Amino acid sequence: MHTLLDALRFIGHNGALPSDPAAPTLLHLTLQMLWISGVGIAISLAVGLPIGAWLGHLRRFSFVAINTSNIGRALPSLAVLAIGDAILGLGLTVTEVALVILAAPIVLTNAYVGIADVDPEIVDAARGMGMSGWRILWRVEVPLALPLLFAGIRTAAVYVVATATIASLAGYNGGLGYIISDEQSYHLSGVLGAAICVAALALVVDGALALVQRALTPRGLRLERDLRGEDVDALVPVTAISPS
Amino acid sequence: MSVLAPAGVVIPTFGGAPSSYACERANRLFCPDWVSKNWSSVLWPALRQHVLLCVVAVAIGFVISFALALLAYRRRAVERPVILISGILYTIPSLALFEILVPFKPLGLSDRTAEVALVSYTLLILFRNIVTGLREVPDEVREAARGMGMTDRQCLWRVELPLALPSIIAGVRIATVTVVALATVASYICDQGLGVPILAAIQDGVFKTELIAAGGLAVALALCADGLLVLLQRALTPWARAR
C-alpha cells in the first residue's frame, strides 16, 4: 500500500524525477499519449466508418464485415506489435499501424451492424418520400445507428489507449509508456503512477466520447431513449467489443 | 528489480561472440534453425504456460459470472452494480491494471496477479451474455415448463439454461479470445506465457526470428481457440443450426 501512496505523490509532483531534472513531465507525456492515440483513432475511423456504413447501407457482405472484427478481436495486440517490430523496426510507425489494425475492425463491424439493423420499413418510408440512397444513409440510417456507431468508436478508442500503452513494451518509448518501460529510474511507484494516469485517460476518453454521442444524437431520438430508460451501453453487441 | 528476465533464452549476440548460425547473426526476418533449436526450451514451455493461464482465468471468471448472473436473473437490483463495476474494470488498459495490482500484498509479481487481472476482464462479457441469454428465453416456454409441474430449479437447469446456451457459449468464446490476447501482456509481470519470448526478443536488440515465432504462436493460439469454441458451440446447440 505504501507504493500506492508513493504513486499518488508521484502524480502530485507531475512525474518529477529527482535523479534527472530534464525528464519530461507527466502532463507532457499524457498529452503526447493522447496525441498518439488520437492519430490512431482518427485513421481507424477514416478507414472503418465509411466501409462499415456503406456495406451496412447495401446490407450485403455481412460475412466479411462481421468476421473482420472477429479476427481483429482475436489478434493479441502485443503479438501484432512484435511481428510489426520484426518487419518494420521499432518506432512510432509500427505503433500506429498496430493501432489501426486492431481498432479499425471494431469500428467497421459496429458501423455495419448498426446501419444494417435499421428497421427496413423506415428505410422504405424514406425511399417513398423520394430520398436518394446517399440521403437515406446520411439523414436516416446514420442517426438511427448512432448508439452502435458510438459503441464501436468508444470501444475502439479505449482499445487504442490501451494498445498505445503496450507499445511501450514493444519498443516505442513515447507517451506514458516512457515511464512504464523505465522501471529502473522511476521505480515501481512511478510506473504505478503512470499506470493510474493511463487508466484515468481511458475513462476520460470514453466519457468524452459519450458526451459527443449525446450531443450528436438528434433531440427526438434522445427523448425517445430517455423515455424508454434504455442505457446506450446495453446496445453494444457482445460480438463486437474487446479490451486490450 | 528487473521485471523482464529472459529466462534461459538462447539469443545470438549481435557483434559479440560469433553465433554458429549465419542467419541469426545477420538477424534475418525468420531463421527456422533457431526455432527448431529453441522450440523445446523456449517456445513450447511458453505456449503451455500461456494455455494454462488462459484456461484457469476463463474457468474462474465463468464460475464467478455464472453465480452473479443467476443472482441477477432472480433479483434485478443486482444487475446494475455488477455491470457498472465490471464495465469500469473492462475499460482499464491491461498493462495499467496488471501494474496497479502489483503492490497489493498477497499478489506481487506473480501469476496470481496476472490471473486476478485476466479474470476481471472476463466478468463483464460472461455476466452480460449469461443474463441476456436467460432473459431471452420466451415467457411461453417458461410457462409451459411451469405448467408441466417443474419447480424453479428444474425449470432453470432443464429449460432456461439449455435455451440460453448459444448466448453463454458466445460469451465464453469472446472471453477466451480476449484472455489469450491479454495473457501476452501478463508476461510483463509474471514471467509466464508467450509474452516472455516476445519481451526478451525486444530487449535483446529486436531479435526478429523470436518476435515472429512467438507473435505468430500467440496469433495462431487465439485463432485456434476461437475456432474450437465455434465448433463446441455448434456441437452443443444443434437446434440453432436448423433455423
Best probe of the B interface among A5, A169, A197, by most B CBs < 10 A, is A169
* Least trusted range by pLDDT, from B2-16, B56-70, B139-153: B2-16
Q: Is the pLDDT of residue A46 over 60?
A: yes
Q: CB–CB of A163/A176 below 8 Å? A: no
> pLDDT at position B18, please?
46
A236 — pLDDT class (breaks 50, 70, 90): very low
> pLDDT at position A8, please?
86
List chain B residues with CB under 8 Å of A36: none
Q: Is the pLDDT of residue B166 over 80?
A: yes
Out of B87, B174, B219, name the one closest to residue A76 (CB).
Answer: B219
Task: Look at B212 and A86 and tell me if their CB atoms are within 8 Å.
Answer: yes
Q: What is the mean pLDDT of residues B1-9?
A: 45
> pLDDT at position A37, please?
92
What is the percentage of chain A residues whose pLDDT exceeds 90?
Answer: 19
Q: Is the pLDDT of residue B8 over 70?
A: no
**Average pLDDT over all residues of chain B:** 83
Out of B1, B95, B218, name the one closest to residue A165 (CB).
Answer: B95
From the list B196, B193, B191, the residue with the least C-alpha distance to B211 is B196
**Average pLDDT over all residues of chain A:** 82
Radius of gyration of chain B, Cα coordinates, nearest whole angstrom: 22
Task: Look at B174 and A4 and tell me if their CB atoms are within 8 Å.
Answer: no
Out of B92, B104, B184, name the one closest to residue A202 (CB).
Answer: B92
Q: Which residue of A has its CA nearest to B195?
A: A78
> pLDDT at position A224, please?
63
> pLDDT at position B21, please?
63
Q: Which three cell numbers stand for residue A194?
A: 503512470
What is d(CA A189, CA A7) in angstroms, rounded to the nearest whole number?
A: 4
Report pLDDT digits (tens) over B108-159.
777 888 999 999 999 988 998 999 899 989 999 999 999 999 998 999 999 9
Q: Which residue of B has its CA nearest to A159?
A: B93
Task: Look at A78 and B184 and tell me if their CB atoms are within 8 Å.
Answer: yes
Task: Look at A4 and B184 and tell me if their CB atoms are within 8 Å.
Answer: no
Q: Which residue of B has its CA nearest to A163?
A: B93
The helix, strand and coil proportions of chain A, stated in percent and rounded to the nearest 5, come to 80, 0, 20
What are the angstrom distances between the C-alpha of B113 and each of B9, B103, B117, B190? 24, 10, 6, 8
* Least trusted range by pLDDT, from A71-75, A90-94, A116-120: A71-75
Cβ contacts from A onto B, under 8 A: 174
Which value does ipTM take for this structure?
Answer: 0.78
Q: Is the pLDDT of residue A239 over 50?
A: no
